[in-house]
Amino acid sequence: MPVEELSDGIFNLSIDDRQMLATRNLMPGISVYGERLIVEDDVEYRQWDPSRSKLGAMVLRNFEIPLTYDSTVLYLGAASGTTVSHVSDILRDGLVYAVEFSPRTMRDLLQLCDQRPNIIPILADANKPQSYAHIVEKVDVIFQDVAQPNQAEIAAVNSKYFLEENGHLMLSIKSRSIDTVASPKKIFKDEVRKLESGFDVEFEVLQRKELEPFHEDHLGVLARMFVDHEEKE
């Protein structure tokens, strides 16, 4: 079975002429959400369904994924950990801080954390980074999937607290969480403009693409935080 590494720890498997996105399973033998496990050359992979994961969709939409085996990541909007589990697979020697504000969902996430030592669960509102500043160190990457009206602001305020110099922000923007009536294209343009110049941290937007056909009315954004204003000139 041909296996192609698309990015560090992220694979495309060709099975019976069909392509399958996958990560290498950090916990062999354990399926997290009913996904398929495939063994090839003594390595076990876990199928990664892009229609259940904005990050998975971003991989298939050819974003440059800034994650490596030893990255530290702040993940905002972890839910029960479907995508966090794949981030955990990728970060074999790294760490992911997983923030989720729903106590009920957090209970499922805690079960995942029991199995995986590189996930630190945090029950908190991503609007209040000061409430978890005593737990989270500086990170290489922030990934955000929170479906809130102030998505860009949440990304900016967390980046200011936690993102390393030249660190990357990966953001999924859901237009319908911002405005159900306005055109998604206009909303996306406004949100990207806010990221570029609307806050006291500024970002260089490196890639922006809609996440269809996997997620309707969602924009994926990859950005790098400017260290200071001079660098931008």
Ligand X SMILES: C[S@@+](CC[C@H](N)C(=O)[O-])C[C@H]1O[C@@H](n2cnc3c(N)ncnc32)[C@H](O)[C@@H]1O
Comparing CB distances to ligand X, the nearer of 15 and 188 is 188
| Nearest-approach distance from CB 117 to ligand X, in angstroms | 19
Q: Among 26, 96, 98, 126, which residue sits at the site for ligand X (rule: CB under 6 A)?
A: 126
Residue of minimal CB distance from ligand X? 77
Comparing CB distances to ligand X, the nearer of 177 and 207 is 177
Comparing CB distances to ligand X, the nearer of 179 and 231 is 179
Q: Does 184 bind ligand X (CB under 6 A)?
A: no
Q: Among 110, 120, 147, 227, which residue sits at the site for ligand X (rule: CB under 6 A)?
A: 147
Map residue 129 onto helix, strand or coil: helix
Is 223 known to sit in a ligand binding site? Answer: no
| Nearest-approach distance from CB 153 to ligand X, in angstroms | 11
Q: Which of residues 48-107 bind ligand X (CB under 6 A)?
A: 53-54, 77, 79, 82-83, 99-102, 105
| Nearest-approach distance from CB 84 to ligand X, in angstroms | 6
Residues near ligand X, by CB under 6 A: 53-54, 77, 79, 82-83, 99-102, 105, 125-127, 145-148
| Annotated binding-site residue numbers for S-adenosyl-L-methionine | 82-83, 100-101, 125-126, 145-148
